[in-house]
Copies of this chain bind each other. A is one copy, B any other.
Amino acid sequence: MPQLRLLHRRAWTVLLGQLRRPPGAVCIRAVRSHSQGQKYLQVAEALFASQLKPHQEKSNFIIKTPKGTRDLSPQQMVVREKILNVVVSCFKRHGAKGLDTPAFELKEILTEKYGEDSGLIYDLKDQGGELLSLRYDLTVPFARYLAMNKVKKMKRYHVGKVWRRESPTIVQGRYREFYQCDFDIAGQFDPMIPDAECLKIMCEILSELHLGDFLIKVNDRRILDGIFAVCGVPESKFHAICSSVDKLDKISWKDVRHEMVVKKGLAPEVADRIGDYVQCHGGISLVEQMFQDPRLSQNKQALEGLGDLKLLFEYLTVFGVAEKVSFDLSLARGLDYYTGVIYEAVLLQTPVHAEEEPLNVGSVAAGGRYDGLVGMFDPRGHKVPCVGLSIGVERIFSIVEQKMKTFGEKIRTTETQVFVATPQKNFLQERLKLIAELWDAGIKAELMYKNNPKLLPQLHYCENMGIPLVVIIGEQELKEGVIKLRSVPSREEVAIKRENLVAEVQKRLSES
């Protein structure tokens, strides 16, 4: 049994002082028991240590990022930049303009747009002035922009952070702060042409990112509403039942049915009728089948939705992506504002190694048609039909990161092309002169921030950072008016004329 260690005199003072809140007697009694004594001993030592170091005053709180958020390290930034480049290039390829909106909106702009999820909105503190909330997605700000500026037609992309107070399960790439990459087409056009382009874009991006096989589930809110209607759901419960259906990708039909009947008060036979529909999925043939459905074909809304889906599949066939798309009656999408076609892309992931857990990332892209949202902001209710998509870059990022770890890929975190080094003392000014020349010529260059660095650490730094070229200057070189140029991979060195430095470096860099 470990002995009660001797306490430093000051530690005792601290301990006794701290224990005074539960009165002194308690303290004395407590220390009489050995295990309690050990505990107090640790507390006292910690308190004592903190009193010795004035800097620790502030550190009773842990230095961390807020719950559900993270910093991105330089390695992670490189990966993210690559992913965003693919996404934005695709958006530009389809003729989209850029747009940016503030991180927060008037609180009223966001209310009644997100259904059951509204509780996840971050509000700002009332510090006198307007009531503000952090944006929850990029769609509502886009609709607000269109209404505010009376824009009737626009194809725009927007890459930006959004914030949701979700219970973060960080392993799966879900955060409270995350990037969204949105592409939307606003305007009155002939049916399903912009919708088909949105699906084409999702296919292009997911293919280009090499994430493995994927599938895009498609449905239509009007078909869902039609199903609810013909199954006997009262209209007042459409939204609630829709968000139950939305859970089918996470929980079983049995559990969804339970929620519908017990929580949302649906008659069991109505739930069962819904169940018969929402468990169907297939391609264009399922669309045809639903057209023949004796009950559904009586519903005007459902027929409109089915007609549009048929057209959509026609265009997707022309685009060569129809086989990536599945008509899935269980797809509901959580958000209130969708009015027509909706879609969601999921990865069909087989783990890289047999022993690996398949990474469950859920949907990696989603979107749909929302023809009523802009009208909600317009004083006269003028509608601007919209359709769009959002790429879940955060989840894609998790996958790419895991892949790189698996394959042990090394990432360069800088783009430095040349390092300016010296083997000798008192050459700082010469190095500064050289590097300024390189910078002024647009060459990416670094040096060591030391007056008299040793040569080896300078060369090691280049090897570690993957810098391909070193410019070396020493007494000999200075006297002869030359510079040594060293290739880091081959370790070969050549002397070149001082005045040819920039030209020679540029030549070397363009060759590699």
Contact = CB atoms under 8 A, between A and B. Distances in A.
Interface of A: 53-56, 58-59, 61, 63-67, 69-74, 77-78, 80-81, 92-106, 108-109, 122-127, 129-130, 132, 134, 144-145, 147-148, 156, 161, 163, 165, 177, 185, 187, 189-190, 193-194, 196, 200, 204, 314-315, 318-320, 375-381, 413-416, 428-429, 432-433, 436, 439-440, 442-446, 449-451
A102 B449 contact: no
Contact of A432 (B58, B318, B375): B318
A95 B435 CA distance: 12
A71 B190 CA distance: 29
> Across chains A and B, which 7 residue pairs bring their CB atoms closest together, nearest first?
A55-B381, A189-B449, A77-B98, A74-B97, A69-B102, A95-B446, A72-B100
Chain B CB within 10 A, most for which of A97, A106, A320: A97
Contact of A380 (B56, B71, B190): B56
Nearest to A133: B125
A100 B127 contact: no
Contacts of A63: 109, 144, 147-148, 377, 379
A95 B56 contact: no
Given A99-B72, A99-B77, A439-B200, A67 B126 contact: no
Nearest to A194: B449
A178 to B, nearest CB: 10
B59 A379 contact: yes
A381 B147 contact: no
A18 to B, nearest CB: 19
B379 A177 contact: no
A69 B144 CA distance: 14
A59 B108 CA distance: 10
A129 B442 CA distance: 48
Nearest to A142: B71
A33 B31 CA distance: 81
Contact of A64 (B74, B100, B103, B148): B148
Nearest to A416: B95
Nearest to A119: B127
A201 to B, nearest CB: 9
A162 to B, nearest CB: 10
A189 B319 contact: no
A127 B122 contact: yes
Given A55-B380, A93-B439, A103-B177, A156 B429 contact: no
Given A132-B66, A189-B450, A94 B56 contact: no
Contacts of A315: 432
A439 B65 contact: no
B122 A97 contact: no
B125 A318 contact: no
Nearest to A111: B58
Chain B CB within 10 A, most for which of A108, A124, A449: A449
A435 to B, nearest CB: 9
Given A56-B381, A106-B61, A130-B66, A92 B193 contact: no
Nearest to A439: B93
A72 B177 CA distance: 22
Contacts of A130: 66-67
Chain B CB within 10 A, most for which of A92, A127, A163, A315: A127
Contacts of A148: 63-65, 71
Contacts of A145: 71
B320 A436 contact: yes
A80 B372 CA distance: 32
Contacts of A156: 74
A509 to B, nearest CB: 13
25 contacts: A54-B381, A56-B379, A58-B376, A61-B106, A63-B144, A63-B379, A64-B106, A65-B102, A65-B106, A66-B104, A71-B99, A71-B145, A71-B148, A72-B101, A74-B97, A93-B442, A95-B446, A97-B413, A103-B177, A122-B124, A124-B134, A127-B165, A318-B432, A320-B436, A320-B440
Contacts of A319: 432, 436
Nearest to A375: B55
